[in-house]
A and B are shown apart, each in its own frame.
Chain A
């Protein structure tokens, strides 16, 4: 079955330290991967995506993600965390079904908490 997993429900980081939010995937064929962020009581905002090419993808707000095909992972990273980065982060993969186009499958989300 095609799926996305975020193995950590919560990640706690001190401000100024690097952060990593983990994501692994299982798809048939080439993966098309996305990261979204959700601030409290808000909708999801697009951060970045991997389609093809360079394994290191840069996105909004200083975030980047590293695609690792051998480990089937797409971890989200930031060199120096800010308190304002505290939010819920979702990893998603696009899957394709015959005659239905491409749909997103989301992980369960990881709550990132950055303390001053």
Chain B
């Protein structure tokens, strides 16, 4: 049981390049989330999904797109990377979004945009 995994672990992009971050979970969770972590700002929600085939915007969605074609995978795309998107990206999943439900996090992807 690997939990939540993310690929790649590190990536360096040039401004304007595109890339896709992959998140996979093997816990049969319905909900999946993408966050970004910046120093002194905690984690901020980018997009989330309440089930296969659905996505919704979070707190900071601009410049990102997501897709959830399979229940176990949640992809985060950057179509035209900008230096402001330099950050550490975390994926998380939870069984539901109920009051007591816990979100489980992946190890993160460190992205640098030059």
Mark A residues whose CB is within 8 Å of B: 9, 30, 32, 34, 36, 41-46, 49, 51, 90, 94, 100-104, 106-109
- Inter-chain contact B42/A90, CB cutoff 8 Å: yes
Knowing A43-B106, A49-B102, the reply to whether A107 touches B97 (Cβ < 8 A) is: no
- Let me know if B74 is at the binding interface, CB within 8 A: no
Closest 4 pairs between A and B when the two form their complex, measured CB to CB = A101-B97, A106-B42, A51-B100, A102-B97
Query: By DSSP majority rule, is chain A's interface helix, strand, loop, or mixed?
Result: strand
Between A and B, 27 residue pairs with Cβ closer than 8 Å are A9-B40, A32-B100, A34-B102, A42-B108, A43-B105, A43-B106, A43-B107, A44-B92, A44-B105, A45-B105, A46-B102, A46-B104, A51-B100, A90-B43, A94-B99, A101-B31, A101-B96, A102-B97, A102-B101, A103-B48, A104-B43, A104-B45, A104-B103, A106-B42, A106-B44, A108-B42, A109-B40
Q: Give the shortest distance, in Å, between B13 (CB) and chain A (any CB).
A: 20
Max chain A Cβ within 10 angstroms of own Cβ: one of B90, B97, B107: B97
Mark B residues whose CB is within 8 Å of A: 4, 31, 33, 40-45, 48, 50, 56, 58, 90, 92, 96-108
Within the assembled complex, what's the spacing in Å between the Cα atoms of A12 and B16? 42
Within the assembled complex, what's the spacing in Å between the Cα atoms of A65 and B100? 16
With A45-B105, A46-B102, A46-B104 known, 20 other A-B pairs at CB within 8 A are A32-B99, A41-B108, A43-B4, A43-B90, A43-B108, A44-B43, A44-B92, A49-B100, A49-B102, A100-B56, A101-B50, A101-B96, A102-B99, A102-B101, A103-B45, A103-B48, A103-B58, A104-B43, A108-B40, A108-B41
Name the residue of chain A whose CB is nearest to the CB of B110.
Answer: A41
Within the assembled complex, what's the spacing in Å between the Cα atoms of A49 and B90? 20
Within the assembled complex, what's the spacing in Å between the Cα atoms of A32 and B100? 7
Within the assembled complex, what's the spacing in Å between the Cα atoms of A100 and B55? 11
A36 partner residues in chain B, CB cutoff 8 A: 105
Max chain B Cβ within 10 angstroms of own Cβ: one of A43, A102, A109: A43
